[in-house]
Amino acid sequence: MSLAATLLSSCSLDTPMYDFKDDEQAVQALTDIKALMHGSYSALGNYEFLGNYAVSLGDFTSGMSTGSSSSGHLYAFSNFTFAETADELSDMWGYGYKVASNATMAISKAKAMLDDGRVKASEQATAYSYIGQCYALKAMAFYYMVNYFALPYSAANASKPGIVIFDMEVPTEDQKVSRSTVQETYDRILKDIASAQEYLDKAGDAAPAEAYYLGKMGVNALEANVNLSLGKYAEAETAAKAALTVKYGSAEDAIADTISANAYQNMWGQITEQTEDLFCIKKSSDDNLSANSLNTLYGSYYGTIQTAALGKLASTDLRRAVLHKGEKGGTTSSKFDGKSEQATSNIPVYRKSEMTLIIAECAARLGNLAEAKNYLFYTARRNLALKSDKLPGTQSELLSFIADERVREFYQEGKRFFDARRLGLTVSGDNFSDWDISKFAFPIPSSEVNSGFGVAQNEGWSDYLPKR
């Protein structure tokens, strides 16, 4: 893994390797490409990115979760007193670019090896699989970063600053860069997703089937989320159904299953792939992330779920089965209570339930209310008192119900910040009210702006924080 280890310099976009020289002798075999790819997966799942911050920061700033003043962890975010110097923002920015940079280098080197014949015919499918996964890793990193560090996509925001993007050339340490627009960023993400799908198709059976890798089901789930953010509802619905089809045979078969309160409770805190998983971050005790894990954040660091979110769960909802009292009061859940070790469990990124709710929302927006209700009821039936004929009857009421259903299903999973901004919701929490969250984007880390490489700040970002 020394080949895949990365080092942040004064500019986060430059990520030279420990013990790695970027020359013709550095990468000579597919095992080297695999190491680079695993380096991207490692950075993606580290606590600085999807292992914690890229999940938790959104929930702690959208009225879903609250940090504890006694531990201090993310308290400044749920209390809206954070600054552009916050380590969490710098870490998330830096690790997002670690994912994208490692992945891009792996793609470039693998393609060169294919072109010059260093990849045997018997290994070509494996090479295609690595390239496809790396395109997906890069697209996922850019997608999370544009959602945190830029305004949500809309016709009005399309020309506003997005993030720094790149195709096959990672900016060097002394290279000036600038932020592309939101539109250009999403265009790049969609191109990388298309490339991921192209190479995974070419890989055939060599493409990964497990939820721990960005194989076809994970890439389709990513595409569904991206198109949902863009308001491309037909495309998002198609991609969500494709993700379900890969794992369950068809989207219809995926929603045929029901889940008991006991089964729902038991699927959390595991270190094995669960039936709902389409893509998840695999964790083990070897990660040594006890102090920085999501589990610890909601455990011995006393993070809790806000009452505004809990209020959307009926007393008859089986999803209450995972709730329990926090160590210093309030309510948390066992979603991130490890079954084998408290601080260790997998982190779901894309689940079956999310795809069914994406299909429901898209179908509702496209006027297919019967289909919307059919897919919505897969999760809505977790309120055991709710019957399918009692779901809302109008499009507007149905869409409002779906937005609330996403709160009920995904508390602590980092979805609300993305949802509230793309939907233009006025958000309220336990310590703030009536916040137009769609006008807010997190500040670019001051360390990046002050490095002098051309990354401009989100000017006036603090003006759009909620009034408390």
Is the per-residue pLDDT at 206 higher than 60? yes
**pLDDT band with cut points at 50, 70 and 90 for residue 261:** confident
Is the per-residue pLDDT at 152 higher than 70? yes
Reported as a single tens digit per residue, the pLDDT across 62-114 is: 999 999 999 999 999 999 999 999 999 999 999 999 999 999 999 999 999 99
> What are phi and psi for residue 351, nearest 5 degrees?
-120, 165
Question: Which percentage of the chain shows pLDDT scores above 70?
Answer: 94
Reported as a single tens digit per residue, the pLDDT across 325-354 is: 999 999 999 999 999 888 899 999 999 999
Instruction: Indicate the range of 6-15, 74-83, 285-294 predicted with least confidence.
Output: 6-15
Task: Tell the residue number behind the tokens 């095992």, with chain if given.
Answer: 31
Is the per-residue pLDDT at 6 higher than 60? no
Is the per-residue pLDDT at 8 higher than 50? no
The pLDDT of residue 467 is 87
d(CA 72, CA 106): 38
The pLDDT of residue 291 is 78
The pLDDT of residue 10 is 39
Reported as a single tens digit per residue, the pLDDT across 116-126 is: 999 999 999 99
Reported as a single tens digit per residue, the pLDDT across 129-145 is: 999 999 999 999 999 99
Reported as a single tens digit per residue, the pLDDT across 215-234 is: 999 999 999 999 999 999 99
Reported as a single tens digit per residue, the pLDDT across 452-462 is: 899 999 999 99
For the packed helices 395-410 and 369-380, what is the interaxial angle rounded to 10 degrees? Answer: 20
> What average pLDDT does the chain have?
93
**pLDDT band with cut points at 50, 70 and 90 for residue 25:** low
More confidently predicted of 103 and 287: 103
**pLDDT band with cut points at 50, 70 and 90 for residue 4:** very low
